[in-house]
A and B are shown apart, each in its own frame.
Chain A
Amino acid sequence: MKKILVFSKGGRLRFVGHLDVMRAFQRALNRAGIQLAYSQGFNPHPLMSFASPLSLGYEGENEIVEIILEKEMTDEALFDALSAQLPEGLKLRSVRTGVGQKGNAMARLAAAEFELKSTHAYFTEQNIRSFFEQEELPVEKLGKVKGRKRTVTVDIKPLIYRWSYQDGSLFVIGAGGPSVNFNPEHLLASLASFSGLDKYPETSISRKRLLYEKEGAYYPLEQCEEL
């Protein structure tokens, strides 16, 4: 039986990496006595898949993980049992039953919304608006040119679908998915460089939700009927 879990990650848990969060979830499920189904083959592992890893330091408000249960269970029972075992910093928001026997949220992921916040001078509304008026939003990153590691300049503007500024926060919806990924740290690096800084000062990054695409519009990934 497949279940789709939506959870938030914050507080101290921001400093725990994705692989460790996976393990923490697995252990919480074990403690709750919830048996996951195992894969076949030589090295069986519990069937659990996360829609998208969250980078170290980011907060996540609506992260998604799909699990396959060994035995049937109601959404409420799962919600209560697992919530009681999750450590502080990981909070279950919702549980719903899915279709099929494997995780496919990752395949349906199309975009993600981020909230960026900083009290530093480079983050004024005026500065940000001017920044977005540019034709291109260049960022330097390490890439491979002809097989060798080089610093290349990449334009991230095409990866940004929508942005808005409100009360000191910058909201950005960027491309996400198997082939191409918007990285909010690149946006901050570009903004910093635009503002004459070497690197971007302390800025909080929160991934607000994951999105899937349907007929040109974006919706919360956990609501996708295909999951």
Chain B
Amino acid sequence: MKVQLSDELLLSIQKPARYIGGEVNSIYKEPGFYDVHYCFCFPDVYDVGMCHLGLQILYHELNKPDHVYCERAFAPWPDMEEKMREQQIPLYSLETFTPLKEFDFLGFTLQYEMSYTNILNMLDLAGIPLFASERGEEAPLVMAGGPNAYNPEPLADFIDLFYLGEGEVEYAHLFELYAEHRKNGGSKRDFLKLAAQVPGIYVPSFYEVSYDETAAEGCEHTGCITSFRPKYDFAPEKVRKVLVEEMDTVEYPTKPIVPYIQIVHDRAAMEIFRGCLHGCRFCQAGMIYRPVRRHSRQAILAWVDEVLKNTGYDEISLTSLSSNDYPELYSIIREIHEKYPHIHISLPSLRVDAFSLALMDELAQGKKSGLTFAAEAGTQRLRDVINKGITEEEILSGVGLAFRGGFDKVKLYFMLGLPTETYEDIEGIAQLSKKIVWTWNALPKEERSADVRVTSSTSFFVPKPFTPFQWCAQDSYEHFMEKQAFLTEKIRHKKIQYDCHDAFLSTLEGLLARGDRRTGKLIYAAWKNGCRFDSWSDLFSEAAWKKAIEESGTELAYYNYRVRSREEILPWDHIDVGVTKRFLLREYDKAYEAKTTAPCNQACSGCGMKNLSCGGICYETKEGAE
């Protein structure tokens, strides 16, 4: 039964084009010709979800074989949700307006912790039972993947199966298995047994966890995990992530869907490489996306030609975690720019030096944008602790060049609450910001831009799974507030704007990032209290979340404020991302001695990736750490 929306409804809400589909390059397949019906669900509003590169990659990939049809769904904005509930309109897919509950699979992408309540809300709007244990044959199988899936436990109650790793690898196989199984009259529940044996697939219901009855140190009633093991022998003890080994063997989507409405990033994007070599210790992406794998120069240039022809976009973006590390970057950009002078090329994650400045100048076409530095910490000592290899000298000489070149806006990113942080480090943030203004001041008037605006932004450190800091205690909410107040005073300057993140939100992220199976109760309570779109400041409800923490008996003392012991079973220990615990512990120790680790292309530090892949940057060097 297809959903029908009246004109009246569509004209009574903001941005009705979010809900109508029909965009250029969206795919329509006739019913009766496909065996597997999958809906990609992005747990945020259309305008945000459509910027997600992973969506375009998966949509393209999954729709390649004729027998699979992948559609899309997003979280309806509260005004639309209200109308849908009023008029009992179930959540539907954008391509064919099919209610989500009629699909074979729903696939949620886990991009950030604060999107979890939206997942529950979307299931509820779809009329699907939230708890996996309550779903029968008539409900779709609910999958989840993406970076946060590496700690799947907080969502274990709600998800039937997790896909760990890169989407190009096992989906085709999984769906072939499903189609075959269903053709032979197999049930959806039985399919999970088959799925558990596919590489990268984790079925939480096949595992059981037990907890210590004695509360952990400093806690009232929450005990550590005493065991985590599969209930059946067809479920693997450890689930290893799947990854693409040769980047050019996967076809990059050249026909991305082009939305009608203006979305956050209105352009075609391609990753030039996956992974990162720097090994910054706070960064989960740097650990879970290893090893570095590049797309070839030809592949990138061919993509640009194809994608412009198929979309008509006037802006493209070449993305990666650290673009300077792509060897021929500048010559590729110049070639694209010469061929397409009217196309704007966006290059996020670019380190600032003389070369990149010259390049940015060429590309700017008259408009001077701002420069961004992710310094992360205010002193060299703390930067060494977190292994962020950027020096004050680099930053100051970079801005000096930039100001001489006419740039007048500088943005700096920092974190408060990093391990071993002292007030001296925090003051360092203020000092560094001011030094940038002084650098500008020191230049003769004719050589510099007319004015200078420095924006320093701090977020609060959240320890993440699979990083060397996964054992650290997160700083308390009270400390966050004190530190923020301290910095606000120290950084006061008319040319400097200081932005900071919401401390309570960071505390919640801390809870959810390193949560375990018991955390599901918290997420459910939050949703029941009306929490939605938690990453939107005007919709985030601190009160509702605080109530949920209380109602679910979740102890911040256990999840956030405790230093975990090295022997402890972590909730994500049964997941293998390639990087070993031994390596992470080595890095953890080095951090506390403020010792740095070289990037992968200079020296191998034996992170464990060599065991997993047969390609990537690991093999470009002869040295090794073990």
Contacts and interface: CB of A to CB of B under 8 A. Distances in A.
Interface in B343-398: 366-367
Given A16-B261, A56-B11, A30 B312 contact: yes
A87 interface: yes
Interface in A9-58: 11-17, 19-20, 23-24, 26-31, 33, 38, 42-43, 56-57
Interface stretch (B13-21, B58-66, B440-448, B548-556): B13-21
Contacts of A17: 17, 261
B313 A89 contact: no
A168 B361 CA distance: 62
Contacts of B23: 87
Given A15-B17, A20-B17, A20-B261, A26 B312 contact: yes
Interface string B290-317: 0000000000000000001111111000
B313 A27 contact: yes
Interface string A193-213: 000000000101000000000
30 contacts: A11-B22, A12-B20, A12-B21, A12-B22, A14-B7, A16-B17, A16-B260, A16-B261, A17-B17, A17-B261, A20-B260, A23-B262, A24-B24, A27-B258, A30-B308, A30-B311, A30-B312, A30-B313, A30-B314, A31-B310, A31-B311, A33-B309, A56-B11, A56-B16, A57-B7, A57-B11, A85-B312, A88-B22, A202-B7, A204-B7
Given A15-B16, A16-B260, A42 B11 contact: no
Contacts of A89: 22
Contacts of B314: 26, 30
Nearest to B261: A20
B114 to A, nearest CB: 29
Given A15-B11, A31-B310, A57-B10, 9 more contacts: A11-B22, A12-B21, A13-B22, A23-B262, A27-B24, A27-B258, A27-B312, A30-B308, A30-B312
* Interface pairs A-B: 10 shortest CB-CB: A27-B312, A30-B312, A15-B16, A31-B312, A12-B22, A16-B260, A12-B20, A57-B11, A20-B260, A16-B17
Given A15-B20, A16-B260, A88-B22, A28 B312 contact: yes
B190 interface: no
A26 B23 CA distance: 15
A11 B7 CA distance: 11
A38 B342 contact: yes
Nearest to A32: B312
Interface in B1-17: 6-8, 10-11, 16-17
Interface in A119-160: none
A11 B5 CA distance: 12
B260 A42 contact: no
Q: Which of B7, B8, B17, B312 has the most CB of A within 10 A?
A: B312
A23 B309 CA distance: 16
Interface of B: 6-8, 10-11, 16-17, 20-24, 258, 260-262, 308-314, 342, 366-367
Interface of A: 11-17, 19-20, 23-24, 26-31, 33, 38, 42-43, 56-57, 85, 87-89, 202, 204
- A interface, over-half SS: helix
B9 to A, nearest CB: 10
Q: Which of B22, B260, B342 has the most CB of A within 10 A?
A: B260
A97 B373 CA distance: 51
Q: Which of A14, A42, A85, A204 has the most CB of B within 10 A?
A: A14
B511 to A, nearest CB: 39
Q: Which of B20, B308, B367 has the most CB of A within 10 A?
A: B20
Contacts of B7: 14, 57, 202, 204
B379 to A, nearest CB: 42
A20 B6 contact: no
A86 to B, nearest CB: 9
A109 to B, nearest CB: 25
Nearest to B25: A87
Contacts of B16: 15, 56
Nearest to B16: A15
A87 B311 CA distance: 11
A208 B16 CA distance: 23
A214 B330 CA distance: 59
A87 B310 CA distance: 12
Nearest to B367: A43
Contacts of B262: 19-20, 23
Nearest to B18: A15
A165 to B, nearest CB: 22
A24 B309 contact: no
Contacts of A26: 312, 314
Contacts of A57: 7, 10-11
Given A20-B262, A202-B7, A87 B342 contact: no
A54 to B, nearest CB: 14
B79 to A, nearest CB: 14
A88 B260 CA distance: 12
Contacts of B367: 43
Contacts of A33: 309
A43 to B, nearest CB: 8
B469 to A, nearest CB: 44
Given A56-B11, A204-B7, A29 B312 contact: yes
A24 B118 CA distance: 30
A4 B314 CA distance: 23
A121 B499 CA distance: 57
A12 to B, nearest CB: 4
B24 A202 contact: no
A39 to B, nearest CB: 12
Nearest to A87: B24
Nearest to A14: B7
Q: Which of A15, A19, A26 has the most CB of B within 10 A?
A: A15
A14 B366 CA distance: 36
B131 to A, nearest CB: 36
B505 to A, nearest CB: 32
Contacts of A15: 10-11, 16-17, 20
A202 B8 contact: yes
A48 B111 CA distance: 39
A28 B24 CA distance: 9
A92 B461 CA distance: 55
A123 B8 CA distance: 17
Contacts of A24: 24, 260
Nearest to B6: A202
Contacts of A38: 342
A87 B261 contact: no
A88 B24 CA distance: 8
Contacts of A27: 24, 258, 311-313
Contacts of A43: 366-367
Contacts of B260: 16, 20, 23-24
Nearest to B266: A23
A30 B313 CA distance: 8
A51 to B, nearest CB: 21
Nearest to A204: B7
A40 to B, nearest CB: 12
A15 B9 CA distance: 11
A209 to B, nearest CB: 22
A19 B262 CA distance: 9
A193 B272 CA distance: 61
Contacts of B6: 202
Contacts of B312: 26-31, 85
A202 B308 CA distance: 41
A23 B314 CA distance: 10
B94 to A, nearest CB: 11
A11 B309 CA distance: 26
Contacts of A29: 312
